[in-house]
Structure 1
Amino acid sequence: MITLSDVAKKANVSKMTVSRVINHPGQVTDELKQLVFAAMKDLDYRPNVAAKALANNRSQVIKFFILEDIDTTEPYYMNLLFGIAKGLDEKQYALQLVTSRNYDLGNSDGYIITGARAKDQEWLDRLEKPAVVFGENRYGYDFVDTDNKQGTTMATEYAIAKNYQSLVFIGIDVKEAFEYSREAGFINTMQQHQMIPKIYRMANHSHLSEQFINDNWQKFARNTAFICASDRLAIGIVRGLAHHDAAIPNDFGVFGFDGVFLDQVSNPKLATVKQPIQEIGRLCARMLLQKIAQSGSPQGELLVTPELVIRDSMRK
């Protein structure tokens, strides 16, 4: 039976180095990892993860809860899942996807949760194992999210710099922290430039924002930019403007928010605030594993800087 010592001898490193490569790869150089992995492959050595988990009273399973409807046409969750899986792989954890609130079925070491809303607070409070939320919240739950306020600040500053004279925010009609932050970024920036912020809210559906333009077309003069809280809303704005033969981006500009898929299928392609979804997923996994290692100690919040992607719906 091949042992840790055999791998260390084959790679010409210490047993401690082999152990670190297996258990804490982030603490080891790529060169050492390549040496150890090559030795493991040559010797057909496989770490006994199950035995280690049993000894530590761990299941090596993380449950990922999606508490909102999934639109299968959008690879948003595929990117998030890939990022989470990548983060969990670093510690040999398996991922279990759950799309209901049956939080205590089967064994696991902790939870990553997305799509949580204010109405889910009671359910979240009942969770008995370490949990991390993907999504800004103001209830004290550990979370990772895009810096939503910074994202709309960046988009608004860009639109002002490109000399759009009137700016309109198209928000999502939900009373949630991420939406408040996106609106705050827009409002604060407008006030700093002594401009009047105009805000409209609706459900996050493109047909509603398209209908909004059709119903209010006469209200919007040329040289207006729409800063939208999602790419879905932005696509509807683009369609509504196109229906009235508006010149985009010369007369009207449109900014989305997400940058996962819909921004690229829009015609013209959307300028957007791009969320680093895969990276956020990986950071959620890392935060949760650290929380588990620290016996559930609070981890706080982590806001990730988004990227401003300029495409054909905004002046360049």
Structure 2
Amino acid sequence: MVTLADVARRANVSKMTVSRVINHPEQVTDELKKLVFAAMHELDYRPNVAAKALAKNRTQIVKFFILEEISTVEPYYMNLLLGISLALSRHQYSLQLVANNSFDLGVCDGYIITGMRKSDYEWISRIEKPVILFGENLYGYDFVDTNNKKGGMLSTRYALSLGYDKVVFVGIDLKEAFEYSRERGYIQVMQESLKEPEIVRVENHSHKSQEMLQKNWEKYPKNTAFVCASDRIAVGIERAIQEKGANIPDDYGIIGYDGIFLDQVVSPRLTTIRQDVAKLGEICGEMLLNKIEQKGKKQGFKLLDPMLVKRETTRRKGGSEKS
């Protein structure tokens, strides 16, 4: 059986260096990591994860709680899971998914939680292990998210630049931080442009936004753009406009938010604010592992800038651009 000493000899480094690369890669230079990983690969060496966990009094398990309905249509959470798994696998951690109908905290070293609502924070506050939230919060918990305000600003500014007279924000009917941030971005740009903000909120389902626009069609004259808080909402707006026989994007413009799947399968294809969900998941995993290593030390928050992807539901201006 290949040992740590065999890897050290092949890489021409000390056993301590090999151990540090395996257990504390953040303390080792990239050059050393490449040497050791190459030697491990050549010798087909596999670290003894069970022994490592026992020595550190750890399980090498992270649990991921999704506290909202998981859509079977959009691969949003698949991208998030892949990103988290990528970060954890680099440190020989396993990921366990916990559905919203099970609140058994079980045995693990820490938690990543998403889909939180106000009622969840009471039980989250009782968790004794390190926790990272995926999604903005107003309660002081460490979190990772897209820069939602910037996304709202980016889409609103783009809609105005295309010459639409009226720009309406169609938000999600939730009293949650991410929604407030997207609305704040919209409001700020509208005020800077001396335009009157107009916000409508619906449940985050395409049929709800479709029904809303059908019932209120007379309120929205031609040359209106709809800046939406999600791609689901944007798809409903698109269907309603098509049913009315109006032209997209000349009569009406639509900008979504997420850029995971729906934006690419509807016709015309949706202009949207894309979140790099896989990268956000990776950052969640790294932040939680740092918190575990630092015995629960506060990590703060990390916001990742979104990207505007220009497609067929807005007038042509070319390309795609970062915020």
Unaligned runs of 5+ in 1: none
How far the C-alpha of 1:278 sits from its partner, in A, is 0.4
Separation (CA, whole Å) in 2 of partners of 1:87 and 1:234: 32
Cα deviation code 1:109-164 (max 9, x no counterpart) = 00000101111111111111110000100011111001111001000011111111
- Which residue pairs with 2:283 in the alignment? 283
Separation (CA, whole Å) in 2 of partners of 1:66 and 1:139: 19
- Which residue pairs with 1:209 in the alignment? 209
How far the C-alpha of 1:247 sits from its partner, in A, is 1.1
2:306 corresponds to 1:306: yes
Separation (CA, whole Å) in 2 of partners of 1:303 and 1:146: 5
Number of corresponding residues: 316
TM-score after normalising by structure 1:
0.95
**RMSD, matched Cα:** 1.6
Separation (CA, whole Å) in 1 of partners of 2:157 and 2:35: 49
Report if aligned partners of 1:103, 1:127 keep a CA contact under 8 Å in 2.
no
Report if aligned partners of 1:238, 1:254 keep a CA contact under 8 Å in 2.
yes
Separation (CA, whole Å) in 2 of partners of 1:24 and 1:90: 11
Counterpart of 1:164, as a letter, is Y
Higher mean alpha-carbon deviation, 122-131 vs 20-29, is at: 20-29
Counterparts of residues 1-316 of structure 1 (less than 5 Å): 1-25=1-25, 32-100=32-100, 102-316=102-316
Cα deviation code 1:234-262 (max 9, x no counterpart) = 00000000011111111210000011011
Separation (CA, whole Å) in 2 of partners of 1:103 and 1:239: 38
How far the C-alpha of 1:169 sits from its partner, in A, is 0.5
Separation (CA, whole Å) in 1 of partners of 2:29 and 2:308: 33
Report if aligned partners of 2:258, 2:272 keep a CA contact under 8 Å in 1.
yes
Separation (CA, whole Å) in 2 of partners of 1:169 and 1:33: 49
Cα deviation code 1:193-229 (max 9, x no counterpart) = 1000111111111111111121111211111100000
Report if aligned partners of 1:24, 1:90 keep a CA contact under 8 Å in 2.
no
Instruction: Name the SS of the counterpart of 1:253 in structure 2.
Output: strand
- Check 1:105–1:111 CA distance in 2 against 1; reply closer, same or farther (3 A cut): closer
How far the C-alpha of 1:29 sits from its partner, in A, is 5.8
Separation (CA, whole Å) in 2 of partners of 1:305 and 1:27: 28
- Check 1:26–1:249 CA distance in 2 against 1; reply closer, same or farther (3 A cut): farther
Counterpart of 1:256, as a letter, is G
Cα deviation code 1:14-47 (max 9, x no counterpart) = 3344234323445556664444333223333221
Report if aligned partners of 2:69, 2:100 keep a CA contact under 8 Å in 1.
no
Instruction: Name the SS of the counterpart of 1:218 in structure 2.
Output: helix
Counterpart of 2:259, as a letter, is G
